[in-house]
Amino acid sequence: MSSDFKKTEEWITRANKERCAAPNGGLCWGKVIWNGKLINLYTNKDFINYIFTQPIAPTLPENKTCMIADFGAGNGYVAQTVVSQLEQPCVIPIGIDRYHPDLKVMKQEKCLVQPIVKPVQGDLRKRPLKENFLPFKKNTFHAGIFRFALSFIGKNFQPQVFKQISRVMKPSAVLVVLNYGVFEENEKNVDAHDILYAKGSAASGRWTFENLKKNMHDPSCEHLIDMAEEAGFEVKAKTDLTDIALGYTSPEIYKKLYRLNSDQHEKLKAVFEKCKEKGVLPFEPDSLGVLRPMYSCVLKKKAPSPSP
Ligand SMILES: C[S@@+](CC[C@H](N)C(=O)[O-])C[C@H]1O[C@@H](n2cnc3c(N)ncnc32)[C@H](O)[C@@H]1O
């Protein structure tokens, strides 16, 4: 296992290097080994099919126009891919994001497959709850996608994000979440995970650790389920992907991603060493490579109980 891990890490590191040398800068993040192949989990269509399309497809009503929301959609790639994989003829994908640049990208995206995701600006986080801070009526969506956006929403805001999503989804609609984070709630490893990734990203000098620690949080799957249940969802499935889709991070990978100077790289190595000493994240024994904990979760909005 250990030498396999090493090989895997070398493979990912090399792939990241190659991607960084790409004329457009490439995207290093999200490289994982899945089913024995190196894939990018952001763009691989089979992986998107496995995580999102398969749980969503059987839940959509037949012969009806369906609305699917991608919450924190970025450039809308996931919604676009899911809709292209569904056999449903009339599905309207809506990509909701709070930032203009993403919406712009979504509008300009030269999509090879139809239909194109409709961009809508909306903030999943805004207060107070009473206001309709997502510009949709109650019970609008037949399904939802929520991929890697929750982390960008501060810890204190996360419970209300689920309430907000629940409000705009139809009863019995399915929401599929893909998130970085540890599977089971344990204060030590949840914190170690947040600290490692905040320190890693801060090493680039583009953000401060304090800011990242305050504004970014990857909840455990267990905690995410608590928040979702509180907002009116029930759990249909949950999968710890840490061992299924092996995604490595190491100081070398950060270095390639952010082009750190040698001083920053050394500091970052010390961060990984300290985190490894604590033994709360899944480090590879012979290196500073750490498996990127990740999980997916299929949630179903509960139908209201019939009045007595
Ligand atoms: C890592 S990107 C993921 C994008 C996309 N879901 C994907 O998987 O490719 C996180 C996205 O969440 C969006 N986001 C962060 N905070 C948000 C908020 N409060 N409301 C809506 N979108 C938000 C960001 O603008 C960004 O596009």
Pocket of ligand 1 (CB under 6 A): 42, 72-74, 77-78, 97-99, 102, 123-125, 147-149, 152-153
pLDDT in tens, 187-240: 899 999 999 999 998 988 888 999 999 899 999 999 999 999 999 999 999 999
What angle is formed at CA 41 by the lines to CA 37 and CA 47, rounded to 5 degrees? 70
pTM: 0.90
Burial call 149-163: b when 16+ CB within 10 Å, e when fewer: bbbebeeebbbbbbe
Overall average pLDDT of the 271-290 stretch: 91
Tell me what pLDDT residue 98 has: 85
Q: Which of 103-107, 278-282, 286-290 has the lowest mean pLDDT?
A: 103-107
Question: Which ligand 1 atom lies nearest to the CA of residue 126?
Answer: 19
Quote the ligand 1 centre to 99 CA distance (angstroms): 8
Residues contacting residue 14 through CB under 8 Å, at least 6 positions apart: none
Tell me what pLDDT residue 118 has: 87
Coil, strand or helix at 92 = strand
Residue 171 has pLDDT above 90, yes or no: yes
Which structure tokens are listed for 251? 């100081």
Mean pLDDT computed over every residue of the chain: 86
CA distance 227 to 234: 10
Residue 172: count other Cβ atoms within 10 Å of its Cβ. Answer: 12
Residue 284 has pLDDT above 50, yes or no: yes
Overall average pLDDT of the 115-123 stretch: 83
Residue 74: count other Cβ atoms within 10 Å of its Cβ. Answer: 20
Highest mean pLDDT among 125-129, 267-271, 280-284: 267-271
Quote the ligand 1 centre to 1 CA distance (angstroms): 35
Tell me what pLDDT residue 149 has: 95
- 115 prior amide bond cis, ω within 30: yes
What angle is formed at CA 77 by the lines to CA 76 and CA 80, rounded to 5 degrees? 85
Mutate which of 52, 105, 117, 148 to test ligand 1's pocket (most atoms within 8 Å of Cβ)? Answer: 148
CA distance 200 to 267: 10
pLDDT band at 109 (very low <50, low <70, confident <90, very high): low
Residue 288: count other Cβ atoms within 10 Å of its Cβ. Answer: 20
Question: Which ligand 1 atom lies nearest to the CA of residue 77?
Answer: 9
pLDDT band at 256 (very low <50, low <70, confident <90, very high): confident
Domains by residue range for the chain, with CATH = 51-301 (3.40.50.150)
Overall average pLDDT of the 119-129 stretch: 77
Tell me what pLDDT residue 1 has: 44
